A and B are shown apart, each in its own frame.
Chain A
Amino acid sequence: MDLATLLPFLVNVIVGGLVLGFVYAIIALGYTMVYGVLQLINFAHSEVFVTGAVVGFEVFRILAPNPMNGYLKLLIALVSAMLISGGLNVLIERLAYRPLRNAPKLVPLITAIGVSLILQDVLRVIEGFQGRFDLTYTLPDAFGVKFCAAESSCVGVGNFLRTIGVDLQVKDVILIVVALLSLTVLNYVVNRTRLGKAIRAVAQDRVTAGLMGIDSNLMISATFLIGGALGGISGVLYGMKVGTLNAYSGFEPGLVAFTAAVLGGIGSIPGAVLGGLLIGVIQKLVSVMSVLGDLVGSKNLATIDDSYSKMGAFVVLVLILIFKPTGLLGKSNTEKV
């Protein structure tokens, strides 16, 4: 085995892993932000995210015959998904979690699982009324074009990727661009704006934030709105990436993204991004293990196929919980006196 075959392989793993990882990162942010303000694992986030995916599906489906620009359709899909998922998340908090604000932590956690199950069936019923179960995205043709397919249109990075055999479609690039934009905006809102500072103050010490004149309920709602909107974005991106999904499709990526949030340190925004990207790459690596096995001539490796890829994420989760329960960028909860 030589470098010439291994290099494109590794680059493919990393690029493909990052594409997947960005989706996980955006989902993970929804878990981590809510955890940050309420110390609650919002298990309903996987359905908030699937709701975004369903909204995206509907927008692309309804707009399919419309000759408008594909990117405009994408924008409409993203904005609709953000609004609906964000609004849904705010509603969930208001109806299901706020009445339990002072209950023992286990109670809202169980409620969250309940909300998750209810939403799965609500989504199924809504689509079922229209005779659909599996939803297949009808993306604009331009999104399926291989990035840099024609040599003449390739320059710079694109050309480099093509020559080393990286297989990217336009939609993958869209996905990375949308994810990076979302992260940039989120970073600005959280770190630079009055709203973001108030949310961080509430996350750290709700009572004292009240003494600063901050309405903590309003900030908690704002957090659910932002987390839900990110869920909406990630839903559309996920739908574009996997192509076909249904009302129950949120569970697995939700769990993987939750793992990513724990890996990075739950409650930490940079942690969620780092965790998402790492998990994406790890999954990709496991899923191509058989290819690597062929490359290096190992029969054992060659038997590890794609179906093991989720296991990779959960092995990481177990290891993290054993050796560094606070996650990579998380802080310990021990209070300084």
Chain B
Amino acid sequence: MPEATLHRTPTTTEMLALTDVHTYYGHIHALKGISMTVNEGEIVALIGGNGAGKTTTLRTVSGMMKPKHGTLTYQGQNAAGIPAHIIMGRGMSHVPEGRRIFKDLTVRENLEVGGYTVTDKALIEQRIQEGFGFFPRLKEREHQLGGTMSGGEQQMLAIARALMVNPKLLLLDEPSMGLSPLFVEAIFDIIVKLNRERGMTILLVEQNANMALEVAHRAYVMQTGEIKLSGKASDIAQDESVRKAYLGDD
């Protein structure tokens, strides 16, 4: 895909900014002073190995975890330690690690719950139909329990559920995990589409660094709770150490 059609030009308005953020799991120092920004209209990839702190970063942003030090602003306002259910009401959506769909709710009910903060019933219905448009498979499974679907279908549902609020900022945690290459392709197509057509800002955590760097504007490379490298995704993709560590080069 040519660069020009792939990317909408991002702005330089900060959607999300972390400055020297420290987060702990009990006594474990998981984030050791993370500073990063995500601008409006950008896709930013967060790559790195297991235990690097990528998921913790997303959890801190969405309010699932409270940072001990540092500042976190979302749309210019403090967001550090504000509970998830409040932050999520402000146009942020988080597709969590492991999909975490509601297994005993039907596909439709999962979507309805995703639209919990949307009070206009007609709008909820419209967005459910949009979700079915993105993922026709979900339409076929509409009244099936979430837990009975395949991993790929659950991932589609998790993304469609997060889109129910038409978020300004979408946090995606490992959307390609455990999926067949066909599903991975489909999901990345949608990520690009959301960014290009709706101008949705996306912070993407991925182990599949190749794919992530292909679609992202910028990237941060994390290692043991710190940011080791940052820059344009295309530059990161050329970086020798990154290629060796994450892109499967020998």
Interface residue ranges, A against B (CB under 8 Å): 194, 197-198, 200-201, 204-205, 207-216, 331, 336
Contacts and interface: CB of A to CB of B under 8 A. Distances in A.
A51 B160 CA distance: 46
B135 interface: no
A205 B62 contact: no
Contacts of A215: 83, 85
Contacts of B247: none
Given A208-B100, A211-B94, A200 B84 contact: no
Contacts of B89: 213
Nearest to B165: A213
B64 A211 contact: yes
A214 B103 contact: no
B177 interface: no
Contact of B88 (A204, A205, A211, A216): A211
B94 A197 contact: no
Given A201-B116, A208-B96, 17 more contacts: A197-B116, A200-B102, A200-B104, A200-B109, A201-B102, A204-B103, A204-B105, A207-B100, A208-B100, A209-B113, A210-B88, A211-B84, A211-B88, A213-B88, A213-B165, A215-B83, A331-B104
B166 to A, nearest CB: 13
A210 B64 contact: yes
A216 B105 CA distance: 17
Contact of A210 (B83, B161, B165): B83
Contacts of A200: 102, 104-105, 109
A216 B84 CA distance: 10
Interface residues of B, number: 25
Interface in B98-116: 100, 102-105, 109, 112-114, 116
Nearest to A211: B94
A336 B154 CA distance: 13
B102 A207 contact: no
B85 A204 contact: no
A204 B102 contact: yes
A335 to B, nearest CB: 9
Contacts of B103: 204, 336
B110 to A, nearest CB: 8
Contacts of A197: 105, 109, 112-113, 116
A125 B114 CA distance: 48
Nearest to B124: A194
B43 to A, nearest CB: 20
Give the 3 A-B CB pairs with smallest separation, nearest first: A213-B117, A210-B84, A213-B88
A214 B112 CA distance: 12
B49 interface: no
A205 B64 CA distance: 13
B33 interface: no
Interface in B152-167: 161, 165
Contacts of B116: 194, 197-198, 201, 212-214
A201 to B, nearest CB: 5
A190 to B, nearest CB: 11
Interface in B72-97: 83-85, 88-89, 93-94, 96
A204 B64 contact: no
Contacts of A201: 102, 105, 113, 116
A205, A208, A209: residue with the most chain B Cβ atoms closer than 10 Å: A208
A213 B117 CA distance: 6
Contacts of B10: none
Nearest to A191: B109
A215 B83 CA distance: 9
Given A210-B88, A213-B116, A214-B85, A205 B100 contact: yes
A238 B106 CA distance: 36
A208 to B, nearest CB: 4
Contacts of A336: 103, 147
A194 B111 CA distance: 12
B85 A208 contact: no
A212 B114 contact: yes
A151 to B, nearest CB: 50
B85 A216 contact: yes
B102, B147, B165: residue with the most chain A Cβ atoms closer than 10 Å: B102
B220 to A, nearest CB: 22
Contacts of B147: 336
A204 B113 CA distance: 12
Nearest to B148: A336
Contacts of B85: 209-216
A123 to B, nearest CB: 36
Interface in B186-218: none
Contacts of B96: 207-208, 211
Nearest to B164: A212
A207 B112 contact: no
Interface string B163-174: 001000000000
